[in-house]
Structure 1
Amino acid sequence: MVLTEEIKEYIDKSVLCWLATVSEDGMPNVSPKECFNYFGSENIIVANIASPQSVKNIKSNPNICLSFIDIFEQMGYQIKGKAEIIGKKNSLFLEMESVLTKMTGGKYPFSTITYISPEKVKPIIAPKYVLYPETTVKDQIESAKKTYGI
């Protein structure tokens, strides 16, 4: 599945994403991730900085859900798909690491990367846009800034 330019723009605008995984015994886990990006036109990568539960879950069950939004616009995407853990021995690791290290400035070491292959994509839209269709992105940004005291 190809990531559209709009999806890539929202990845660029999002400060965090939330990665949902499921353990071997079916227990869900959601973990915020600060260092993530698209890789090529079809995949998303996430640095495993402090992610032991996510890594363990993906190794036993590759099904994931990743969500990210622009906190001011309150729009973004939910992506469901399969993930695999990429270690330093993988031939693509250095290229992926380079993309993610630019984001961290090398301040957060990581030895594995979650490599996500999207299968389903769904927009995330704040309820205000649906309940009040006259709401513009500008209105939503102003409202969010007021709420956050910015």
Structure 2
Amino acid sequence: MLTADIKTFIDQSVLCWLATVSTENIPNVSPKEIFSYYGTSSIIVANIASPQTVQNIRHHKNVCISFIDILVQKGYQIKGVAEIIDKSNIEFTHMENQLIQMTEGKFPFKTITKIDIQTIKPIIAPKYILYPETTEKEQIESAKKAYGI
């Protein structure tokens, strides 16, 4: 389910945004810095400072996670079913080792959110749709100008 292109976007993304729903059905979107793909059909996220996210997932397992390359202005929206993985889970150590490489041990976490992917949808800036001749190179230059880079 996770293609090489999607994995590349995940590897290149600095942040992702994880959307959950509270017990009162109030949406919550939280940026996440330490995340990766796990196998071919899951995303894992370190729960560093995420008590609301963890609480929401324990009540409503359906989530949405999005990530984009801010210069190319393309990315992916992934919807799936989340599970909070703690140290008692046999998979925890393998997931933890994968995420610790990213944190260099600087951000401790006791649980991991594992998202089993249900659907994947590309995210694409409207300019590509409205002006189909737009190249990624042009979009990058436009984004750099807009962001003052």
For the aligned pair, the TM-score class normalised by the smaller chain equals: over 0.9
Identity %: 66
Q: Which amino acid aligns with 2:52?
A: Q
SS at match of 1:135: coil
The within-5 A match list for 1:1-150 is 2-150=1-149
- Separation in 2, partners of 1:27, 1:93: 29
Q: CA deviation at 1:24?
A: 1.3
- Separation in 2, partners of 1:74, 1:98: 30
> 1:18-71 CA distances to partner (integer Å, 9 max, x unpaired)?
000001120100000000000111110000011000000000010000000011
> What are structure 1's unaligned runs of at least 5 residues?
none
Q: CA deviation at 1:116?
A: 0.3
Q: CA deviation at 1:147?
A: 1.5
> What are structure 2's unaligned runs of at least 5 residues?
none
Q: CA deviation at 1:11?
A: 0.4
SS at match of 1:130: helix
- Separation in 1, partners of 2:134, 2:104: 38
Q: CA deviation at 1:4?
A: 1.0
TM-score by length of 1: 0.97
> 1:89-145 CA distances to partner (integer Å, 9 max, x unpaired)?
111111001111111111100000000001011000001111111110001111111
Q: Which amino acid aligns with 2:76?
A: Y
SS at match of 2:93: helix
- Separation in 1, partners of 2:62, 2:123: 20
- Separation in 2, partners of 1:41, 1:137: 27
